[in-house]
Structure 1
Amino acid sequence: MPSIRHEIPLQLLRHRPEVAALIARTVLGLPVPDLPCWRPGPETVTLLSPGELHLDVVLVGTVTEKPEFAVIHEVQNSCGVPDLERIALSWPAYVTHVRQRLGCPVVLLAFCPDEPTARKIAAPVETGHPDFVFRPRTYWPGMLPAITTVAEADRWPELALLSAPGHLADDERRSVLAMALEAMQHLEPDWRVHYHDYISKCVPARYRKEWEELVAIAIENYHWESDFAQEHQAIGRAEGKAEGKAEALAGSVLRVLKRRGVHVDDAVRARVTACSDLDQLTRWLDLAVIVDSAERIFDDGADPLAEPE
């Protein structure tokens, strides 16, 4: 059964087929034309003998109804000997059969989880015919540009999710993860939980708490559409993460104060981390954005967030 790490990149490309052409052109330097329309194409190849080859996804670029260019896109997460043997026999056939079927130029790209895998998958395939050497064109998330601004995430949400796993060890990690969340609100509602799971599985354990903090902030500040917030809240309930959510919110309160340069003494830190009331922690988080003293998040008087009269 295909894994989430195999299916999610393909779903992102099916959602917006021109992304594959953009990657081929701007990241891999391939002569793929900037055509006005890209659509999913045939994903099976019929053989002379009974049977079929099943491609991951084919994206077809057109000007009218006539195919002008096609991009075969595979997701390849492993590079063992059986994988390389299968690729040597099947991928050249994908290209020649799709070219014959559509009558247009074809390139094959492979999305790999990391650079070592991509380099092994990119090894030349000797077909046996003189001068006919097939070279898969591979890339991995780190080859894609990091998406770190709202404008980029809103314009290319698919790239924000595809590139995020390759930039989680960078200084811009927090921005990359925040923009992955931003991107999800522009994608299909039915797939948002799956996209969340995909990023969660890609985040190394040492950064998992930081990711959960960002998700908690997004939910508690109602940054997302209500259905998305409910989906994430359902995930939290299903997995019994109420305690973890409070811990994440408490960490967010302290982090916001620190980032703003507001001094946090041991007494404030102890009170925040000991709190398990999500509503209270949410209020403290809202106040942490504007107070000039850490102790003021505990004020019971006038609400500093209220609109002036």
Structure 2
Amino acid sequence: MAPRIARNVLGLPVPDLPCWRPGPETVTLLSPGELHLDIVLVGTTADKPEFAIIHEVQNSGCTDELERIALSWPAYVTHVRQRLGCPVVLLAFCPDERIAGKVATPVETGHPDFVFRARTYWPGMLPAITTVAEADQWPELALLSAPGHLGDTERRRVLAMALEAMQHLEPDLRVHYHDYISKCVPSRYRKEWEELVAIAIENYHWESDFAREHQAIGRAEGRTEGRAEALAGSVLRILERRGLAVDAAVRDRIVGCSDPDLLAYWLDRTLEVDSAEQVFD
């Protein structure tokens, strides 16, 4: 997706190459230490690097972060270019236009005419995905762009296509993207988003464990005991996948619950709480 964004959204002269493969994300320096890049894509022809894209995610535009990237990002470009021997561009995904503007501030390196400026973009700069065909072909694009297109005219279609796109992702990524979009949806539209999620869970023919766990909500499939056990496992799994600490007391309470309706409520809570204990509120 990065080459497409670079060409079509940012207007960069990125060639349309037949193959893009993962490139070096750790660059060894002459002095002790390493540069840790978010991700690098290398466009190749006949195993020869022709173009590289460094992609960073930058959620903050505070002074400390701007000072850090002013030193590190120009080094990313020069070191990857030296290692691969091909043109290199650095893209940065930001949550909104304000932060993107700060991150794109030109960096004077000190060498005449050597000014570095990251090429930034944000959800609203990406095209709105409003058709099933687009959502199926570019699921990540549909999910990344959705928070930037929540106006009255296209909001419902954009959110519906975000749910369509989730079908093509691994279960763990679905949890993260659901959380990402849920946090971006304005409070006045939150109920509408939750209704769309409920409809999708009920009607889509999901195949992953993640979805089957959610389809168990509200359905009387199998024995109550088995359903409760499955829901308890889902609650714990999502809390852990979100990086929330689950202590013994919380785990015992969840595993020991035999009420499917209560467990279903806790499962809904796992996608919006900031700590494991809050699922019980």
Fold match, TM over 0.5? yes
User: 2:234 matched to 1:207?
Assistant: no
**Deviation sequence 1:259-302 (CA, Å, 0-9, x none):** xxxxxxxxxxxxxxxxxxxxxxxxxxxxxxxxxxxxxxxxxxxx
**Deviation sequence 1:103-136 (CA, Å, 0-9, x none):** 1100000000000111111110000000100011
**CA shift for structure 1 position 225:** 3.0
**Deviation sequence 1:78-116 (CA, Å, 0-9, x none):** 001111111110100000000001111000000000001
Q: Name which of structure 1's ranges 167-176 and 189-198 shifts more when overlaid on structure 2.
A: 189-198
What is the SS of the residue equivalent to 1:148?
A: coil
- Provide the residue aligned with 2:24 in structure 1: 42
Aligned-pair identity in percent equals 83
- Partners of 1:193 and 1:231 within 8 A in 2: no
**CA–CA separation in structure 1 for the residues paired with 2:40 and 2:184:** 25
**Structure 2 residue identity aligned to 1:126:** E
**CA shift for structure 1 position 228:** 4.2
**CA shift for structure 1 position 210:** 0.9
TM-score where L is the length of structure 2: 0.75
- Provide the residue aligned with 1:148 in structure 2: 130
Equivalent of residue 39 in structure 2, options 51, 57, 71:
57
User: Structure 1 residues 241, 69: closer, same or farther in 2, change over 3 A?
Assistant: closer
Equivalent of residue 157 in structure 1, options 139, 143, 148:
139
Alignment: residue pair count? 224
- Partners of 2:171 and 2:208 within 8 A in 1: no
Structure-to-structure mapping, 1:122-201, within 5 angstroms: 122-201=104-183
User: Structure 1 residues 238, 46: closer, same or farther in 2, change over 3 A?
Assistant: farther
**Structure 1 residue identity aligned to 2:190:** R
**CA shift for structure 1 position 201:** 2.1
User: 2:50 matched to 1:68?
Assistant: yes
Larger radius of gyration: 1
What is the SS of the residue equivalent to 1:171?
A: coil
**CA shift for structure 1 position 194:** 2.2
**Structure 1 residue identity aligned to 2:54:** I
User: Structure 1 residues 170, 118: closer, same or farther in 2, change over 3 A?
Assistant: farther
- Provide the residue aligned with 1:86 in structure 2: 68
**CA–CA separation in structure 2 for the residues paired with 1:205 and 1:97:** 44
Structure-to-structure mapping, 1:102-117, within 5 angstroms: 102-117=84-99
What is the SS of the residue equivalent to 2:180?
A: helix
The CA RMSD over aligned residues, in Å, is 1.8
TM-score where L is the length of structure 1: 0.69
User: 2:266 matched to 1:239?
Assistant: yes
**CA shift for structure 1 position 188:** 2.2
**Deviation sequence 1:116-159 (CA, Å, 0-9, x none):** 11111111000000010001100101000000110110111111
**CA–CA separation in structure 2 for the residues paired with 1:114 and 1:156:** 21
**Deviation sequence 1:179-236 (CA, Å, 0-9, x none):** 0110111122342222222222222222211111011111122443363432434467
- Partners of 2:131 and 2:161 within 8 A in 1: yes
Structure 1: any 5+ residue segments left out of the alignment?
Answer: 1-18, 243-309
User: Structure 1 residues 175, 133: closer, same or farther in 2, change over 3 A?
Assistant: same
**CA–CA separation in structure 1 for the residues paired with 2:159 and 2:83:** 41
What is the SS of the residue equivalent to 1:239?
A: helix
- Partners of 2:37 and 2:56 within 8 A in 1: yes
- Partners of 2:17 and 2:43 within 8 A in 1: yes
**CA–CA separation in structure 1 for the residues paired with 2:13 and 2:143:** 25
